[in-house]
A and B are shown apart, each in its own frame.
Chain A
Amino acid sequence: MDAVAALIVLAALAIALFVLGQPLWPGREQAAAGRHDLRRADLDAAKIAKYREIRDAELDHATGKLSDADWQAIDRRLRADAVEILHELDGLGTAPEAPEDPPPAAAGDGHDPAAATTGEGGPPDAAPAGRL
């Protein structure tokens, strides 16, 4: 019984050595991701978070917590941040096909307040895709 246990542990050790060593084998490094892809993943996450902020401010305005003037100032600043993120994303070159995830129209653009309620960084269900 002890011999079987020892064999199982040895087998586990052999599997572990293979699994851990494989990424370090010569030639495997070529498969590693480019730095642009990694940065793009971070920027995509930042973009979604920024859009969520814009929608939060929208909802705060729509529910009467923010005055028009305050909301417009905040909205402008948030959108400027979002533009910076998109600019950097564009600078990384052509991305894989991924539809955009737009926030509602900018403050003072005669937007539809319902857009603020669609929340969580997602686009309105039936809104056409487009950039800021």
Chain B
Amino acid sequence: MALLGRGLLALALAIAVYGVVASIAGARAGGTRGEAWTTSGRRAVYLVAALATVSFLLLEVAFIRTDLRFEVVADHSSSTTPLLYRIAAPWSSQEGSLLLWVWLLSLWSSLVLWRTGRRMADVVPWAQAVLLGLAAFFLLLLTAFTSPFSTLAQVPFEGVGLSPLLQYPSMMIHPPMLYSGYTLFAIPFAFAVGALAAGHVGADWIRSTRRYALGAWLLLGIGLVLGARWSYAELGWGGYWGWDAVENAGLMPFVLGTAFLHSVMIQEKRGMLRTWNASLILGVGVLCILGTFIVRSGVLSSIHAFGSSTLGIPFLILLATMIGGSIALVTWRRDLLRSEHRIDSLLSREAFFLAGNVVLVGLVLVILWGTFFPLIGEALTGQQRPLETVWWGRFVGPLALVLTLLMGFGPLAAWRRTTAAHAWRQLRGPLAVALLALAIGLALGAGGHLEVAIAVLLGGFVLGAVGQELQRGVRVRRTATGEPLPVALGRQVGRNRRRYGGYLVHAGIAVLIIAVAASSAFKDQHRVHANVGDRFRSGGYELRYEKAIGTWKTQADGSGEKIQKIILGAQVGIYRDGKRLQTMRPTREYFPSTDVSLGPVSRFFLGESATEVALDPGIRRDLWLAMQPDGDALAELLRAVDDRLKKNPAPFAASADAAVRIADFYRQRPSPVTFQVIVSPLVTWIWIGALLAGLGGLLAIWPAPDLQTRRVRARHAARVARDLGRAPAGD
């Protein structure tokens, strides 16, 4: 299987390289000969997709079977790893994630080329060449630098296992979502390069790739939210966003992609901002590769980067090529890229979109600076220190608020121009909603923090604007058709999906921004050292440490039952005003290590461990509770048991029993525990806001009802009307 995998990847690389050459030959030859070369290049894309699919399936089979002959399986899985996590384990490894990258890229490339068909015949060959070039780069890494099909000379008796931090449901789909976003953004990137190379710089390439850009934005956004949720519920520090290098790596293309999705509308409608749009998507493409580079190179320390690698140099070469090539292409085509029109009025939708673009690009520059500042610091001081959260809040906070304001103005303005009188008529309603929201916010205590009050005011403005737009659109439809409200609403939204999908995204982001501001400003956080029976207070709750938990979980494999993890925890009663509300059970889970030098019983506790947070989410506030047993007391106990076991002739024979007995001992005679308690308001609304934004994205991307079917229906209805001698009713 290893030879097969390596052979198929090498074949895929050869085909990808051939495809690049064939596609460029097709672009340069033109005519029927050129089309033949282009068709051959296109088939290369399909073949790479097929080979990458088979290769990925082979790797999956190796993980599912825990085939420890494979180095990647031995390093990232084990016989005690549950099946679902074994399926997801390939992308926890560098090799597997690179294979996932090239697999997804080849699938999306095949899809876009199949759907594009014969359109954009001058652009497509260049786009093909770019997509195959990217695939060839990753296939080269997989064949020459870090093969997922490398085998071990000596097969270990057990694998290292999947990092316990990754054994979390959303982590199974978080990387594929991020990588889908990255690879989908490669589509508009490649078509932009193709449009520039072919000198076909109108809006055609934008129309052909708009859905892919939107899909990339949506999937990247889902990936970011899943990552934030994982960080909040699993990492044990109580936050959902830590401005970590890897988090930022995914956020930057998302933010710049947001700018692109807005500014392309200006090019579509007005023929403006061609240079800007081309530069934006080329920048997004570069940031997607930069994101992969940050995760995979290990240049920046991160809680999310699971191991560093030697792939930094190849990635730097690719990045340099992409940046240099992008600048050269835009400079070469600067005459063609000149805008057909200028902005007619500052009171127009394009003016607000442009302002929003400037803010979004500013946001990306701030994040870029903040992400790479530790590297600059390291060059100067020899020490890599990430920037404080306060720094991020100081720069990102105001930009986010300005963006929220523009999100409200954008939908209210018309394309080209709006008169002052019309603008005022549009603004009155949303302003009233904004003031109402502020009044409610102040009544609930938002006045204590200026940034929260401003977020509530601006968020209310956005929600008011979106609500007004929807209400007016439905009213127009009802006036014209007499349809009942639900029917008119459904049809109005269904037939203007792009517009109302975008508005729903705005509403979701507004909710999210209010929730982020409130949950950050009013977070109540305590760290408490406690023994069984102790009581302490936090955020209006009384918590009582009632008893200790000491247990274990086993997993069966071919050789019998094995300890999967030892669990130490605490049972905590939650009270409010003397009334018991519920019981929470935060735990700390210890996964056995294969490193026997740690000690016969210590290896069950000193390998990888993970915090299992106890979370009580609510519409108004979340109660978040984590615990950490006293490390010194536990280490002392482990040392004592290790010493005793080492005196046995076969110290490891009874080590599993001893580990279980320690868990029992801990339950009966627990050492002190450090609790971390966080009570923060409106966190649930972050996820609700994100969900709304995701639904909006989905609505905008969803294809319109089949046009051909509607045309046929229209023809038939018209014929019926003609035959009956009267006009058709309704629409």
Closest-by-CB residue of B relative to A4 is B4
B480→A114 contact, CB < 8 A: yes
Q: Does B67 contact A (CB under 8 A)?
A: no
Q: Does B35 contact A (CB under 8 A)?
A: yes
Q: A100 vs B530: C-alpha distance in the bound complex, in angstroms?
A: 76
B476→A117 contact, CB < 8 A: yes
Q: Kindly provide the distance from the CB of B573 to the nearest chain A CB, expressed in whole angstroms.
A: 55
- Provide the residues of chain A in CB contact with B316, threshold 8 Å: none
Looking at A22, A57, A101, A118, the one whose CB has the most chain B CB atoms below 10 A away is A118
- Provide the residues of chain A in CB contact with B477, threshold 8 Å: 114, 117
Q: A50 vs B572: C-alpha distance in the bound complex, in angstroms?
A: 63
Closest-by-CB residue of A relative to B41 is A20
Q: Which chain B residues (681-731) contact chain A, with CB distance < 8 Å? A: 704-705, 707, 710-715, 717-718, 721-722, 728-731
Contact digits for B473-485, partner A, Cβ 8 Å, 1 yes 0 no: 1001101110000
Q: Determine which of B4, B473, B496 lies in contact with A9 in the assembled complex, contact meaning CB atoms within 8 Å.
A: B4
Closest-by-CB residue of A relative to B121 is A38
Q: A66 vs B477: C-alpha distance in the bound complex, in angstroms?
A: 17
Q: Does B449 contact A (CB under 8 A)?
A: no
- Provide the residues of chain A in CB contact with B8, threshold 8 Å: 9, 12
- Provide the residues of chain A in CB contact with B121, threshold 8 Å: 33, 35, 38
Q: Determine which of A9, A38, A70, A121 lies in contact with B7 in the assembled complex, contact meaning CB atoms within 8 Å.
A: A9
Q: Kindly provide the distance from the CB of B704 to the nearest chain A CB, expressed in whole angstroms.
A: 4
Q: Does A67 contact B (CB under 8 A)?
A: yes
Q: Kindly provide the distance from the CB of A89 to the nearest chain B CB, expressed in whole angstroms.
A: 14
Q: Which chain A residues (48-77) contact chain B, with CB distance < 8 Å? A: 48-49, 53, 56-57, 59-60, 62-67, 70, 74
Contact digits for A21-37, partner B, Cβ 8 Å, 1 yes 0 no: 11110001110110101
Q: Does A109 contact B (CB under 8 A)?
A: no
A16→B15 contact, CB < 8 A: yes
With A19-B47, A42-B119, A65-B426 already in contact, the answer to whether A120 and B32 are too (CB < 8 A) is no
- Provide the residues of chain B in CB contact with A30, threshold 8 Å: 32
Q: Does B414 contact A (CB under 8 A)?
A: yes
- Provide the residues of chain B in CB contact with A126, threshold 8 Å: 713-714, 717-718, 721, 728-731
Q: Kindly provide the distance from the CB of B214 to the nearest chain A CB, expressed in whole angstroms.
A: 14
Q: Does A13 contact B (CB under 8 A)?
A: yes
Q: A22 vs B37: C-alpha distance in the bound complex, in angstroms?
A: 10
In the complex, how many residue pairs between chain A and chain B have their CB atoms under 8 Å apart?
A: 198
Q: A13 vs B51: C-alpha distance in the bound complex, in angstroms?
A: 11
B413→A65 contact, CB < 8 A: yes
A113→B418 contact, CB < 8 A: no
Q: A32 vs B422: C-alpha distance in the bound complex, in angstroms?
A: 53
B120→A42 contact, CB < 8 A: yes
Closest-by-CB residue of A relative to B48 is A16
Contacting chain A: which of B202-210, B373-381, B589-597? B202-210
B730→A125 contact, CB < 8 A: yes
A56→B47 contact, CB < 8 A: no
Q: Does A80 contact B (CB under 8 A)?
A: no
Q: Which chain B residues (1-33) contact chain A, with CB distance < 8 Å? A: 1, 3-4, 7-8, 11, 15, 18, 22, 32-33
Q: A49 vs B205: C-alpha distance in the bound complex, in angstroms?
A: 13
B415→A128 contact, CB < 8 A: no
A113→B3 contact, CB < 8 A: no
With A8-B4, A24-B40 already in contact, the answer to whether A129 and B35 are too (CB < 8 A) is no
- Provide the residues of chain B in CB contact with A12, threshold 8 Å: 7-8, 11, 51
With A8-B4, A53-B269, A60-B414 already in contact, the answer to whether A21 and B40 are too (CB < 8 A) is yes
A65→B422 contact, CB < 8 A: yes
Q: A113 vs B482: C-alpha distance in the bound complex, in angstroms?
A: 12
- Provide the residues of chain B in CB contact with A46, threshold 8 Å: 203-204, 207
Q: A97 vs B476: C-alpha distance in the bound complex, in angstroms?
A: 34
With A9-B7, A21-B40, A126-B729 already in contact, the answer to whether A33 and B721 are too (CB < 8 A) is no
- Provide the residues of chain A in CB contact with B707, threshold 8 Å: 48, 101, 121-122
B480→A112 contact, CB < 8 A: yes
Q: Does A93 contact B (CB under 8 A)?
A: no
Closest-by-CB residue of B relative to A38 is B121
A41→B47 contact, CB < 8 A: no
Q: Which chain B residues (27-75) contact chain A, with CB distance < 8 Å? A: 32-33, 35-37, 39-40, 43-44, 46-47, 51
B15→A120 contact, CB < 8 A: no
With A32-B36, A42-B119 already in contact, the answer to whether A127 and B714 are too (CB < 8 A) is yes
Closest-by-CB residue of B relative to A29 is B32
Q: Determine which of A2, A38, A67 lies in contact with B419 in the assembled complex, contact meaning CB atoms within 8 Å.
A: A67
B39→A65 contact, CB < 8 A: no
- Provide the residues of chain A in CB contact with B710, threshold 8 Å: 122-123, 125
Q: Does B86 contact A (CB under 8 A)?
A: no
- Provide the residues of chain A in CB contact with B1, threshold 8 Å: 5
B32→A32 contact, CB < 8 A: yes
Q: Determine which of A8, A45, A120 lies in contact with B495 in the assembled complex, contact meaning CB atoms within 8 Å.
A: A120
- Provide the residues of chain A in CB contact with B119, threshold 8 Å: 38, 41-42, 45
Q: A126 vs B479: C-alpha distance in the bound complex, in angstroms?
A: 18
Q: Kindly provide the distance from the CB of A69 to the nearest chain B CB, expressed in whole angstroms.
A: 9
Q: Determine which of B15, B22, B426, B495 lies in contact with A117 in the assembled complex, contact meaning CB atoms within 8 Å.
A: B495
Q: Which chain B residues (398-441) contact chain A, with CB distance < 8 Å? A: 412-419, 422, 425-426
Identify 10 new A-B residue pairs, CB closer than 8 A, beyond the known A5-B7, A9-B3.
A32-B39, A65-B426, A74-B415, A99-B711, A122-B495, A122-B707, A126-B730, A127-B718, A128-B718, A129-B715
A-B contact pairs, 10 of them (CB 8 A): A29-B35, A35-B121, A49-B207, A65-B412, A65-B418, A65-B426, A66-B414, A113-B476, A117-B495, A127-B731
Q: Top 4 A-B pairs ranked by shortest CB distance?
A: A114-B480, A9-B7, A128-B718, A126-B717
Taking Cβ atoms with an 8 Å cutoff, the residues of A that contact B are 2, 5-6, 8-9, 12-13, 16, 19-24, 28-30, 32-33, 35, 37-38, 41-42, 45-46, 48-49, 53, 56-57, 59-60, 62-67, 70, 74, 99, 101, 112-129
